[in-house]
Structure 1
Amino acid sequence: MDYYFWVVQGPDTTIVVDTGFSEDAGRKRGRTLLLDPAEALAQLGIDPEAIEDVIVTHGHYDHIGNLGLFPNARIHMAEAEYRFWTSPTSGHIQFSFYSEEGEIDQLRLAETEGRLKLFSGETSPVPGIRLVEVGGHTPGQAIVYVPTSEGEVLLASDAVHFYEELERDMPFTAVSDLPTMYDAFAFIRREKQERGLTVIPGHDPDVLTRFRACPDLPAGAGVVIGGTPSTNKETP
């Protein structure tokens, strides 16, 4: 299982989708940090403090682990997701294994500062980028539509962990609502078939072999999907 975050870069804006996991949170769970997100951004020539928009697909530790790097960014996430992770229910062990209270506090801070932008159903945080709430894996799991010069990409995040989940109709073991997760599978399949989208699962190692390597990062640390590294860059 690989762990990704994404940088969506266009002529006029740079958006970060999820923020990876912190070294401490990863170590507690036996995860190896191959490239620190802060270092990855530096190698891409990106100043985190200059980022204006960060998309959070859901509240697990491996997707919100470095929100503190982006003190000036608007944080976009589903309201159902935020309300769940700030509720007492999220403290039950089945859920709390996947979260870090200090990282949830970063979301609370963003809300206090007026930077947390919550949505229900669907939203477009910036022109061309679309978020759709699908649930299943978590109460407010979202997927992200990104236009590129080579066609539209759907960043499925953990709505689909691995390619084989769609191929075999086989959900991942971490799920808050199984029927809703199956509904999300069906929705993503339809989008792929009817619109020709390129679906990127949230944790599949094959992502690194199906797309061309990002020349700005160490070997095996990132890929470019659509366009060129200077125009459209989606990098784990």
Structure 2
Amino acid sequence: MADPGGLPAVCHCLLVETDADGLVLVDTGLGTADLRRPDQALGADWVAHAQPVLDPRESALHQLVRLGYDPRDVRHIVLTHLHRDHTGGLADFPHARVHVHPDEYRAVTDPSAAYHRHSLDRFMPAHRAHGPRLTPATTDGPANWFGFPGVARPQKLGHELLLVPLPGHSAGHAGVAVRDDHGRWLLHAGDAYMYHGELEHTPALGHPLLEPVQQDAQTDAAARAATRDRLRDLVRDHPDEVTVFSAHDPWEYARLARPAGVNGRTRGGR
């Protein structure tokens, strides 16, 4: 999908190198099986609307290999939520433990949960057919993060990484917060917003192509708007402590897609 000026949207992944936990992948983008059989894996209607680039070199798996890593070293995957453009690469790392916020886990596993059918319909069968090691994060972490309550910590992951609830887009949508070597936080905000104008302008400035996507996917419009406003306050009040970025904004990607230090190294990928 491109903006009126022709700049394509991205699907942002973050790779974190850790000393004790191997490689941690935050979101996975589309996977290699998606790119071989997009209509079957992703849904023909979605493919026709989103018009993804069907290039295996864009997959997280191929980008890891190109950087010189062994994909088997990806021990953990942390997901902002379970929509198809974030989970496609799960099958490329079948050995990895897959962490989600407990509210997102409950939404896809508990038939009595609110938005269960909505959530399960968007967690594509092709992305869960291999039986991913889906694991709910625990709420034994900090009570809140910069005033955001309900923070969860991935199980069996020693590196300081948190799942911060950013509700509205999905039933258990969460940002992934990672602390860098300088004490700053990076917050991968997933689809809590999709365009930087939503945070940089008051009132929020949505993107004419991305805003309908948000409205179609969201579970709670009021919660999504409240999350967006809280993120705007976070960016305004803590500019030297937190860097926030979303999953699909290509302008943010252009600004931030360069090596930075999280336990020495992080890398962004499309």
State how many pairs are aligned.
Answer: 217
User: What is the CA distance between 1:16 and its match in structure 2?
Assistant: 0.3
Deviates more, 1:27-36 or 1:38-47: 27-36
- Of 42, 57, 60 in structure 1, the residue corresponding to residue 80 of structure 2 is 57
User: What is the CA distance between 1:102 and its match in structure 2?
Assistant: 2.4
* Aligned partners of 1:50 and 1:72 also within 8 Å: no
User: What is the CA distance between 1:138 and its match in structure 2?
Assistant: 0.4
CA distance in 2, matches of 1:124, 1:44: 28
Once the two structures are superposed, residues 119-142 of structure 1 have per-residue CA deviations (whole angstroms, 9 ceiling, x without a partner) of 462223333211112220001001
CA distance in 1, matches of 2:110, 2:128: 11
Structure 1 residues 11 and 155: alpha-carbon distance in aligned structure 2, compared to 1, 3 A threshold: same
Aligned residue type for 2:233: R
- Of 4, 16, 29 in structure 1, the residue corresponding to residue 25 of structure 2 is 16
5+ residue gaps, structure 1, are: 212-222
RMSD of aligned Cα (Å): 2.7
5+ residue gaps, structure 2, are: 1-8, 140-149
User: What is the CA distance between 1:104 and its match in structure 2?
Assistant: 3.6
User: What is the CA distance between 1:11 and its match in structure 2?
Assistant: 4.3
Which residue of structure 2 lines up, in the alignment, with residue 205 of structure 1? 250
- Of 182, 187, 190 in structure 2, the residue corresponding to residue 154 of structure 1 is 187
Which residue of structure 2 lines up, in the alignment, with residue 183 of structure 1? 226
CA distance in 2, matches of 1:11, 1:130: 17
- The 5-angstrom pairing of residues 33-72 of structure 1 reads 33-34=54-55, 35-72=58-95
TM-score (norm: length of structure 1): 0.79
TM-score (norm: length of structure 2): 0.70
Secondary structure of residue in 1 paired with 2:103: helix
Which residue of structure 1 lines up, in the alignment, with residue 136 of structure 2? 117
* Aligned partners of 1:128 and 1:147 also within 8 Å: yes
Once the two structures are superposed, residues 131-187 of structure 1 have per-residue CA deviations (whole angstroms, 9 ceiling, x without a partner) of 112220001001011122453211111112111122342463231101111121122
Which residue of structure 2 lines up, in the alignment, with residue 192 of structure 1? 235
Structure 1 residues 188 and 135: alpha-carbon distance in aligned structure 2, compared to 1, 3 A threshold: same
- The 5-angstrom pairing of residues 99-114 of structure 1 reads 99-106=123-130, 109-111=132-134
* Aligned partners of 2:12 and 2:246 also within 8 Å: no
Structure 1 residues 148 and 158: alpha-carbon distance in aligned structure 2, compared to 1, 3 A threshold: same
CA distance in 2, matches of 1:27, 1:85: 19
User: What is the CA distance between 1:63 and its match in structure 2?
Assistant: 0.5
* Aligned partners of 2:59 and 2:89 also within 8 Å: no
CA distance in 1, matches of 2:14, 2:110: 28
Deviates more, 1:25-34 or 1:76-85: 25-34
- Between the two proteins, what is the percent identity of the paired residues? 26
Aligned residue type for 2:235: K
* Aligned partners of 2:245 and 2:252 also within 8 Å: yes
1:163 aligns with 2:160: no
Once the two structures are superposed, residues 45-94 of structure 1 have per-residue CA deviations (whole angstroms, 9 ceiling, x without a partner) of 222222221101101001011212223322110222123234665556x9
Aligned residue type for 1:233: T
Deviates more, 1:55-64 or 1:177-186: 177-186
Aligned residue type for 2:127: E
Which residue of structure 2 lines up, in the alignment, with residue 136 of structure 1? 168
